[in-house]
A and B are shown apart, each in its own frame.
Chain A
Amino acid sequence: MIDVTVQHIGKKYRIGPEASTEPLGRPRRPWWRRSEEFWAVRDVSFDVRRGEALGIIGANGAGKSTILKLLAGITTPTVGRIVVHGRLAALLEVGAGFHPELTGRENAYLNGSILGMRRREIAAKLPAIVDFAEVSRFLDVPLKYYSSGMYVRLGFSIAAHLDPDILLIDEVLAVGDLSFQRKCLQRIEELKRAGCTIIFISHDLGAVERLCDRAVLMRRGQTAGTGAPAEMIALYQQIIAEAAAEDFTASRERRAAEITYFEFRGSGRDGRTEFRTGEPLMVRMDWAASEDVGDVIFYVYFYTQDNVLCTQLTSEDGPRVDLRQGKGYVEFTCPELTLPPGIYHVDVGVRKREVARGYSLHWLNHCAVLHVLDGTAVRGTFYTPHTWRIVVDDAPTPLEP
């Protein structure tokens, strides 16, 4: 049985011109030519079966959120159509429609009715909602005095108790602490077991793989593939890596010094892009210099999917490097990879130590992808290499694990 049918949908937006810099400046173009067309989603089709969990993955700007907005009915497609069987609840933003002046209880009613619940239903479910959100003591306190964690918990809890036939979730699990995230995922799994159809959008590929039966990979507003989550995730990584490699080869022009090759290696000599947290990691960078450039620094940056710089490898602290005309390679060695599981974009480059005009010799922005898999247990934002031992008092010798 099919719950959601998406047939060749497309969504066109108009992009306005940049605003004139003067407050009363004259527009540069006549009004009828002042906007450009842009297809956020184009010719996308897929089905979601009853009781299935479908993941939608893709880079930022691939059209995932637009699809969710269309499914939720927030905006309508420009072409194509969507047929939905049953009651659909969308959680695009936790606590959308909360009002800070009202108490937790009043907001539960307000938010619940916005999501399509009746007051009777909300009254019946309020104890469960409050219990799940762990806010029972603050139920009659205005929301403006809530901590952000409480706010998020209440918002998710209301949506999770709607009992919808179909639940849409967009990246909401990125908020809240780890234990609450786990609780949310548990709740989603519970809903799924109870027969609820789920459409899930996330950058957390691990969660998509664990939760979803199928995945749709979006790329530049179109579907790049539909299939088993593991396959789609692999395809996604391949697409990112190919795009990165294209950039790498395309950016060749004459430079005083440049990076000509770059790869990740494990303990062996093999080049690869998948590593586990805690595994040894080596980076090899080949360089070529067409003239003497003096003291230089080689570096590798790691960014998250959201473009946050996580960490770097650099030759900055080492001895002075006098790069002369010729070629060779640089090797970075990490005894243990400290990044938690996820997908990372990588920048590599070489620059002069002295920061002055033209100090950047060669910089490759997002030229590779590092996929980190589950390895050594890690909670938090990075793994700290460590050892441990246990001592039992009065024992003849310490026990070493």
Chain B
Amino acid sequence: MATLNRTNVTERREVTILAPPSFAPGRVLHDVARLARYADLIYTLSLHRIHVRYKQSFLGLLWAVAQPVCLMAIYTVVFSHVAGMPSEGLPYAIFAYAALLPWIYFSSGLVAATNGIVSNAAFVRKVYFPREILPITYIVAALFDFLIGAIVLAALMWFYGVSVTVTALWALPIMLIAAIFTTGVALVSSATQVWVRDFGIAMPLLLQIWMFASPVVYPLAVVPPAWRGWYVLNPMVGIVENFRRVMLQRQPVDWHSFEISAAIALVLLPLAYMYFKSVDATMADVV
């Protein structure tokens, strides 16, 4: 039987106050500090998401690349061979794949995270922990799929003879902004999903529209200049286009679109977090 090590009784204890929910923006720092103490749970749960997904499947990790590779094949046939879409001098397959990678990170992470709280209802009702951890772990797990997909990108680049230059390092800040933006949207959608399930139902349709409003299957250059001012307000434009630029075209980021994406992501995240925490308080009563 274990022995108990309870040292000095005069130890300093943290004080928790549980009170009715109120809108207090100052509490955000407090919430973030609390979240930081649960870093181990984020790690364990993210690992668990990845683990559970591939544990009993025969193809295992191959599933992580199945979606981008299949979409790449379909789009190559439809847009390149049938419709004759330009691809800025690159083989269309790799042109599409390099854009699909960050896009699928965003869309699959968002779909999983939106249902993140509802599908863990038993947890939410029975244990306390900062609930934002649930959507966050799905986004971390999506990052794992992204990394597996990136290996395939490297293989494709080798196959098509596209060389990598130092500009590829820009992919890191681009993906950081992508992660921040995805988290921001997921915090809003997962919390709202608890009250109205419409969000989850609308999500696949919304994402389909959103994808065609982003330069995934076509280059930014084909968008008429008159529309472009509005077009780049979509934060995914700056992310997808720039990722492809720095990976395949050996060019530095396009600052205009990247700044817009970064600004929207960085403003959205704290606002989304405040919204999430304000509904977090009564989530267990509803879910």
A residues engaging B (CB < 8 A)?
13, 50, 69-88, 90, 92-93, 96-97, 99, 101-102, 106, 109-110, 113-119, 125, 128, 131-132, 161, 163, 165, 190-191, 194-196
Neighbouring B residues of A114 by C-beta, 8 Å: 41, 123, 127, 129
Q: Are B19's CB and A81's CB within 8 A?
A: yes
* Interface stretch (choices B6-14, B66-74, B174-182): B6-14
B40 at the interface (CB under 8 A from A): yes
Q: For residues 81 through 139 of chain B, which have their beta carbon under 8 Å from a beta carbon of chain A?
A: 122-129
Q: Are B52's CB and A76's CB within 8 A?
A: no
Bound state CA distance, A85 and B55, in angstroms?
A: 41
User: Can you name 7 extra interface pairs (CB under 8 A) apart from A76-B20, A195-B9?
Assistant: A50-B9, A73-B128, A76-B19, A92-B127, A97-B122, A114-B127, A165-B13
Q: Are B18's CB and A97's CB within 8 A?
A: no
B16 at the interface (CB under 8 A from A): yes
B residues engaging A (CB < 8 A)?
1-2, 4-6, 9, 13-21, 37-38, 40-41, 43-45, 48, 51-52, 55-56, 122-129, 281-285
The 10 closest A-B pairs by CB, nearest first: A128-B2, A96-B126, A86-B13, A73-B128, A81-B19, A194-B4, A113-B41, A82-B18, A76-B281, A84-B16
Neighbouring A residues of B55 by C-beta, 8 Å: 101
Known: A74-B128, A85-B13, A102-B52. A196 touches B6 (CB 8 A): yes
A-B contact pairs, 10 of them (CB 8 A): A74-B126, A76-B281, A76-B282, A81-B18, A81-B19, A81-B20, A82-B17, A106-B51, A117-B40, A118-B40
Bound state CA distance, A97 and B122, in angstroms?
A: 8
Q: Are A125's CB and B18's CB within 8 A?
A: no
Neighbouring B residues of A190 by C-beta, 8 Å: 1, 4
Q: Are B127's CB and A74's CB within 8 A?
A: yes
Partner of B17, one of A81, A93, A119: A81
Q: Are B285's CB and A101's CB within 8 A?
A: no
Most buried by A among B14, B20, B37, B125: B20
Neighbouring A residues of B37 by C-beta, 8 Å: 116
Q: Are A99's CB and B40's CB within 8 A?
A: no
Q: Are A73's CB and B18's CB within 8 A?
A: yes
Neighbouring B residues of A69 by C-beta, 8 Å: 284
CB A124 to nearest CB in B, in angstroms, measures 10
Neighbouring B residues of A106 by C-beta, 8 Å: 48, 51
Q: Are A119's CB and B13's CB within 8 A?
A: no
Bound state CA distance, A160 and B37, in angstroms?
A: 21
Bound state CA distance, A125 and B125, in angstroms?
A: 27
